[in-house]
Amino acid sequence: MSGAGTHRAHTILAVSDVHSPRYLMHYLSALRSLSGVCGGADAIIWAGDMVERGRVEALAPVLEYTARMCKGARIVAVFGNEEYVGTEGEYLRRYGDRVTWLNDSYAELGEDLVVYGTRGSLDRPTAWQRRNMPWLAREYRERARRLAEVVAKLRERYSYVIVVMHYAPTYVTLEGEPRHIWPELGSRLMEEAIRRSAPTLVIHGHAHRSRRTVASVGGVTVVNVALPARRKLTLVRLGRDGVKVE
């Protein structure tokens, strides 16, 4: 493992695609079942689509319950496609004091642990995106390039580098979704970026019907933490023995 950290053990809780209020009660139940560990977690990671159709206010009950159940835990989040492009400032204004938002940026969680977050990339923008946001194809390529560059540098400084994104960074964890739309759910270009930069762990969401939620890409553990796919919060333990996903 690269980096100049202390290699101590870490516990991470991760979830995505709560689509509040759609799956809010399911989220609350899943979080309650982990009440014994969530307060001691190094971070609770939200991998996008925590609200339904851009409803910024719908994040409030998710945040309030999480803060109450997991006192002291740091919440780190990325934006998904349901946290609409252009509304990022609203999330920062409403929740920025209690949520660390990452948008092609990173945050240190300890002297040996860092998280890099991004919305992620698609190999083929959706039909709506192609009509309304034609510049996205170029941005998707740039996100993968930036991730590979920044994460490689972070590995020189930290023992553990976690990458969080909303869209799938590989087609492997898309098994169960209709094959013909895989390019609109994930990115092989991002997969290559992960192979090159070799983070410790990659967390993503977006794939509700995924049947293979944990995979290895070039030796890197990739986990789809979408609540509809896993039907629970994902517990990840990092340590000298590697990555363990529960």
Residue 3 belongs to some domain of the structure: no
Residue 220 belongs to some domain of the structure: yes
Please give the structure tokens belonging to residue 202: 């990659």
- Residue 3 CA to chain centroid, in angstroms? 22
Residue 5 belongs to some domain of the structure: no
Q: Which residues pair with 14 in a beta bridge?
A: 45, 234
Please answer whether residues 63 and 24 qualify as being in contact, where contact means their C-beta atoms are separated by less than 8 angstroms: no
8-state DSSP, 111 = T
Q: Above 50 in pLDDT, residue 1?
A: no
The set of residues, in sequence order, having a beta carbon less than 8 Å from that of 243 and lying 6+ positions away, is: 200, 201, 221, 236, 237
- Where in the sequence is the domain holding 231, given as residue range(s)? 10-245
DSSP characters for 149-162? HHHHHHHTT-SEEE
Count of the separate structural domains present in the chain: 1
Residue 4 belongs to some domain of the structure: no
- Residue 214 CA to chain centroid, in angstroms? 14
Give ∠ CA 148-189-86 in degrees, rounded to 5.
Answer: 80
In this predicted model, what pLDDT tens digit does every residue of 47-97 receive, in sequence order? 999 999 999 999 999 999 999 999 989 999 999 999 999 999 999 999 999
Domain CATH number, residue 205: 3.60.21.10
pTM above 0.85, yes or no: yes
Q: What share of the chain in percent tops pLDDT 70? A: 97
Residue 93 belongs to some domain of the structure: yes
Predicted confidence at residue 72, as pLDDT, reads: 87
Q: Which residues pair with 201 in a beta bridge?
A: 162, 221
Q: What share of the chain in percent tops pLDDT 90? A: 91
Residue 132 belongs to some domain of the structure: yes
Residue 77 belongs to some domain of the structure: yes
Residue 123 belongs to some domain of the structure: yes
Give ∠ CA 148-178-170 in degrees, rounded to 5.
Answer: 15
